Structure 1
């Protein structure tokens, strides 16, 4: 029996005449014209409804601004998010689960310092039931003592685990480095604070904060947009208040500065996080910066990945991207590295920041990231789930379907010169601050040699 000869990817990609030519990219198709409605209900809730009838399903995303400054707000908000779907005046947990199962549906909730989000999906034929359950949760959630106690205990266990995770530690350190004591930094409540939360406080928070005004609801699926808006208005008619949902205070302008070394004794890996001020999606230069970021570290073939992952092997993954919070946009660079190459990884990361401005992306690089940006956007909104998620994120910035449909054209119009200008303006190393979390005894001297690093506790 003849042994099978396996060829490497490099061997497959070459012939005797040289590298195999890569087939040209196909032309970009225009975004599909989907019927949609973007309106505000009498109770102040903004509704974006889009017909996408690829499958007989619907996706719903409700986003409620949920900022607070109280000492126990973050903990109370987490308990609320865990218990809002456990019962109402008309339905207990079993009844809610049963009704959702009968329409092929699911409900989930998540909360952060900026907003409470409720996500749901169901068969399109079950939409009236979904709306009835959602209205019940918004107006009649009961937060019975036993459910609050049960979910609080589970939450305390999860928090105990989360707070030992390197990425959680790095995230908290970065947030404090960027924003000090701003409420946005309270992403993960303390377990002892959760233990102090009582059912009366959760019910009070719901009454005072789960409000329609300033909130947005996105629905995507096999629906008639006009009809579904009218149905929503009827279903949510009792969800009303003269008050508005609590919007997170504006974040301070992010300025560059030293990177803070946060000691984590005995760590075998280090977490590197750098951040700088960026542009909002509404800025005319946002598309320019988006392509510059992709060239730097926004996808697998970026310069940062090629350098510290493919060439030097300092990290398994490195990435740069945008964070959008309220009216603020920031750039975030992250990489987890082996302890012994932490300083070298920081040096190379800064080197690539500077090089992006001084040796800007070539025309070929720009075209590659352009095709990636347009193609990945098309893929992300090809499903009902992806489109609902994109629209929900845009709605939080006051944008809608028109911005999404027009973004491929904006990306297509960006020139290499405009990407070069964005790279020079926004990726200069001095604009970035951040943290390195790791074993200070092992990595401290190397980071001091690199420079621009302060040693302390975040």
Structure 2
């Protein structure tokens, strides 16, 4: 048993209990103060730069674009295959969701168990996800097992069979997951927001209905695979403790047989957001409301993007933002509020979101609009900009410090026509932004009149208060 420790002078060290005594624990405020006043915080140290590797790029004859980066440290490799996967057909969302759920359930030479066993043998795994813009296959494994990982990848994208029994099983599971998801307030709010800002554009079809999934057949999945899962226009990204030239040769050997005469289908740009009234969406019996506001933003390519990024952080992009200080710390309306930039084909949009109790919905909306207006009328101070800058640079470098983070960033940037040079230069761009430049983009992009959005909640409870604020339409 451990007893109270003593220092060399024979006195009990602070914080250790003495048998038989009942010491008074100091509060956090007492710990943070001295007789001379509050303990000063130490100055922030210099931000440590994360060295970024060179990226070797090669395009196969099939049109598949391959990006490979040597990132040692751990003997692993990260893989990201991004395939543009848009479709206008009403059933496309349901078929593509079921395709992503069953792609790894069997090929002409491997069944589901065989795929899992082969991946486990090299410490690897693969997963599939899909949205209105892309299908992505991602995974990782031991670096020495890259040929095996690529072999399984090539097998599933060239000869997946979608066994009827597996499709039926996954179809039932997907319907159940959709049923649960569609009962969640955040899902309801997201779908309402997408319709409000983008109308009936295919980008809004992020989740199919259970009835649509129930109607999907294995033959439809196989037909979509043959037509849409193609290499031309797709991007394969590898990051890890690998030799770049050898990795490209391994990709060429494994995926050289993946060919098609057509290019993968890119999602068309959605319509620009039109500012206007918020739409009140009735959710009977809800005890909470979801506030979702949105406005146009800037792409990464724009020279003002770094200033917009800092303005967003000051407003609501991290815990020390104005919005969080107001509606969480001061008013206690919510546990969290957030704003951020979301990238869409050909553009970007700002989003502001928070969930609050029904009885403070109008008050929270009022304060959110107030903070938007205050950011334009009372520009960020130099101290606010410096704090946001430190957070932006630090969080970017942390996100790139792992193989997986770098692989995901490279894949997303490549799809947007950017590369490793943009990442290398971005910390310097953030450092160069002036407080005046942040104020300029705040005035242009955070004006309350630039926004539209939705308020989801029980209209019988929140409707009168919300309508009294103006700028609200709906039941």
State the TM-score, normalizing by the size of structure 1: 0.98
Cα drift, residue 236 of structure 1: 0.6
1:330 lines up with 2:341 in the alignment:
no
Cα drift, residue 3 of structure 1: 2.5
Higher mean alpha-carbon deviation, 177-186 vs 18-27, is at: 18-27
CA 38–5 in structure 1, closer or farther in 2 if over 3 Å, else same:
farther
CA distance in 1, matches of 2:104, 2:24: 57
Query: 114, 123, 142: which one pairs with 1:123?
Result: 142
Query: 154, 178, 186: which one pairs with 2:173?
Result: 154
Query: 167, 183, 201: which one pairs with 1:164?
Result: 183
Which residues of structure 2 form unaligned runs of 5+? Answer: 1-19
Say which SS state the counterpart of residue 109 (structure 1) adopts: strand
1:440 lines up with 2:459 in the alignment:
yes
Number of equivalent positions: 456
Partner of 1:57: 76
1:103 lines up with 2:122 in the alignment:
yes
CA distance in 2, matches of 1:67, 1:440: 35
CA 197–26 in structure 1, closer or farther in 2 if over 3 Å, else same:
same
Cα drift, residue 187 of structure 1: 0.5
Contact 1:131-1:235 at 8 Å conserved across structures: yes
Partner of 2:448: 429
Cα drift, residue 16 of structure 1: 2.8
Partner of 1:397: 416
Contact 1:354-1:429 at 8 Å conserved across structures: yes
Structure 1 residue ranges (4+ consecutive) displaced by more than 3 angstroms after TM superposition: none
CA distance in 2, matches of 1:71, 1:13: 60
CA distance in 2, matches of 1:405, 1:6: 48
1:14 lines up with 2:29 in the alignment:
no
CA distance in 1, matches of 2:386, 2:44: 10
Higher mean alpha-carbon deviation, 219-228 vs 259-268, is at: 219-228
Cα drift, residue 455 of structure 1: 1.3
Contact 1:63-1:118 at 8 Å conserved across structures: yes
Higher mean alpha-carbon deviation, 86-95 vs 225-234, is at: 225-234
Cα drift, residue 39 of structure 1: 3.0
Query: 308, 314, 339: which one pairs with 1:320?
Result: 339
Partner of 2:6: none
CA distance in 2, matches of 1:270, 1:143: 41
Cα drift, residue 202 of structure 1: 0.2
Partner of 1:45: 64
CA 316–196 in structure 1, closer or farther in 2 if over 3 Å, else same:
same
Cα drift, residue 13 of structure 1: 2.4
Partner of 2:382: 363
Query: 424, 428, 442: which one pairs with 1:409?
Result: 428
Contact 1:48-1:400 at 8 Å conserved across structures: no
Partner of 2:281: 262
Cα drift, residue 274 of structure 1: 0.3
State the TM-score, normalizing by the size of structure 2: 0.94
CA distance in 2, matches of 1:252, 1:139: 35
CA distance in 1, matches of 2:186, 2:139: 28
Say which SS state the counterpart of residue 167 (structure 1) adopts: helix
CA distance in 2, matches of 1:121, 1:317: 33
> What do you get for the CA RMSD once the two structures are aligned?
1.1
Contact 2:279-2:473 at 8 Å conserved across structures: yes
Partner of 2:4: none
Say which SS state the counterpart of residue 137 (structure 1) adopts: helix
Contact 1:326-1:396 at 8 Å conserved across structures: no
Contact 1:31-1:405 at 8 Å conserved across structures: no
Q: From the CA coordinates, give the structure whose radius of gyration is larger.
A: 2
Cα drift, residue 29 of structure 1: 3.2
Q: What CA deviation, in whole Å up to 9, does each residue of 1:24-74 have, x standing for no partner?
A: 111123330413213322211122211111100011011111110112110
Partner of 1:190: 209
Cα drift, residue 216 of structure 1: 1.1
